Amino acid sequence: MIRSDLWTREQLLLVLNLYHKIPFGQFDHRNPKVIRLAEAIGRTPGAVSRKLGNFASLDPYHQNRGVKGLSNAGKATEDIWKEFYDNWDQLVPESEALFEALTDTTKEDIKLGQGENAQILDQELERLTEIERSVKVRMGQRFFRQTVMASYHWHCCVCGIPIPELLIASHIIPWKDREDLRLNPHNGLCLCALHDKAFDRGFMTINSDYMVLISPVIYHHLPQEALNSGLIAYQNCKILLPDRFLPDKNFLEVHQHQYFLH
């Protein structure tokens, strides 16, 4: 007999999607996002909160910090975690499509659980296979932005600006050059518009010690007050580190050696 309380793959995938989009420490059952997802998938907020804790126990970043999360995650939870990280390009759009289905539907009887609801899920997954590439790209961009922003608590990692409208989820190795890294949050930085543009054009980089380096090219334009306060002031300053998905040091070294204006 199949236990009715077992988590489905789709439920786990949705909770894992949410895990990436809310900062660590906000997994509480009173979080409105946790409550909304719980209602949509037919689980209690407490159950979703505990599952988020299970995922935290599998996160290498938290393991390295000595944060244990909730152990005994279970094989299905471990499997979906591994599948997600082994296949960003497939699992991110799939999870985003499921989230979109939750958002778009107005039928109260659509819950992502067992029985008849499983058939609805199958239909949504079939729909995913027909989504055009442009839609998948949009979903991937949305996931990447929300994940990177949440990891930095919506602050520019260079200057600390906390205004979401002025923030960009920047790629360390550019989008156009490494398709396999487009959705990887370890290839992301939360930067304000100025520092995003400076980083993208090579006027600024971040080394493997997470220190800001300003290109010598900028100094050719001095004295200039705006450059002093906006860029020069951060030379050799350490960035604000995220609480998850540290920038990959190998990616930072690639940026410093291949894109930075020396």
User: 86-124: per-residue pLDDT in tens?
Assistant: 888 888 988 988 888 876 643 333 344 444 455 555 565
**What pTM, to 2 d.p., does this model score?**
0.79
Say how many C-beta atoms besides its own lie within 10 A of residue 49's C-beta: 22
Instruction: Give the model's pLDDT for residue 223.
Output: 93
Strand ranges (DSSP E) for the chain? 167-171, 188-192, 204-206, 212-214
What does the pLDDT look like over 36-68, one tens digit per residue?
999 999 999 999 999 999 999 898 877 777 766
CA distances to 97, 118, 245 from 137, in Å: 12, 26, 21
Q: Beta partners for 214?
A: 204
Helical residues (DSSP H) of 105-233, grouped into ranges: 116-129, 133-151, 193-200, 216-219, 225-230
Return the H-helix or E-strand segment holding 191: strand 188-192
The residue among 32, 56, 41 whose CA lies nearest residue 11 is 41
**In the numeric block, which tokens belong to residue 38?**
């719980």
Instruction: Give the model's pLDDT for residue 243.
Output: 87
What does the pLDDT look like over 162-204, one tens digit per residue?
999 999 999 999 989 998 888 899 999 999 999 999 999 999 9
Instruction: Give the model's pLDDT for residue 114.
Output: 45
